[in-house]
Amino acid sequence: IKGGKRVKFAGYDVVGTIRIPKTKIKYPILTPLTNNSLAKGVAMLESTSGVNEPGNTTILGHNYRNNMFFSKNDKLKIGDKIYIKDLTGREVEYEIYEGKMRQTTDGSYIRRDTNGETEISLSTCNDDSSLRYVLLARKVSEK
């Protein structure tokens, strides 16, 4: 809700925008997460207390192997920056501290204790969809 109004994109509620300079992407973060919302952008799977708030927010995006959405997340490394702007206009800078392949059955990154830190988890599939590439990042600053 921005200024008391909901922000919509392709029929979905927008909870913020994600920008990753290294991979040159910027997309709305949509909710709810559905096959169709993932075809339109990236989508929030779950959030402890809301975008850019303490706890973990998990965002999923397709790997279409064509530079769209999270297709280039495997190029991101520890120390790279991710920016999320919420609907209040506050932009938080996150720094990646872990990136690894996980089994498709491993959902431990979704509901995790961040010890009160503001963190995000980004997940996408690898090129043959047999694994998930998951990035964990924590807030380092905001404007």
For the segment 98-112, what is each residue's pLDDT rounded down to a tens digit? 999 999 999 999 999
* Cα 124 to Cα 85: distance, rounded to the nearest angstrom: 20
Higher local confidence (pLDDT), 116 or 65:
116
> What pLDDT is stored for residue 71 in this prediction?
93
Q: pLDDT tens, 69-79?
A: 999 999 999 99
Beta strand extents in the chain (DSSP E only): 8-9, 12-20, 25-31, 42-47, 55-60, 81-86, 91-103, 118-125, 131-142
Answer whether 32's CB lies under 8 Å from 11's CB. Answer: no
Distance in angstroms (rounded) separating the CA atoms of residues 57 and 47: 4
pLDDT reported for residue 137:
98
**Is-contact 34 87, C-beta < 8 A?**
no
Structure-token pair, residue 4:
């008391």
In this prediction, residue 126 carries a pLDDT of: 87
CA distance 113 to 9: 31
pTM of the model: 0.93
pLDDT score of 64: 85
Match 């994109």 to its residue by tokens.
9
Give the type of residue at 59: I
- Phi and psi, residue 3, nearest 5°: 60, 35
Q: What pLDDT score was predicted for residue 2?
A: 53
Distance of CA 143 to CAs 57, 74, 77, 90, Å?
19, 27, 23, 6
Reported as a single tens digit per residue, the pLDDT across 1-58 is 455 567 898 899 999 999 999 999 999 999 999 999 999 999 999 999 999 999 999 9
CA distance 51 to 93: 12
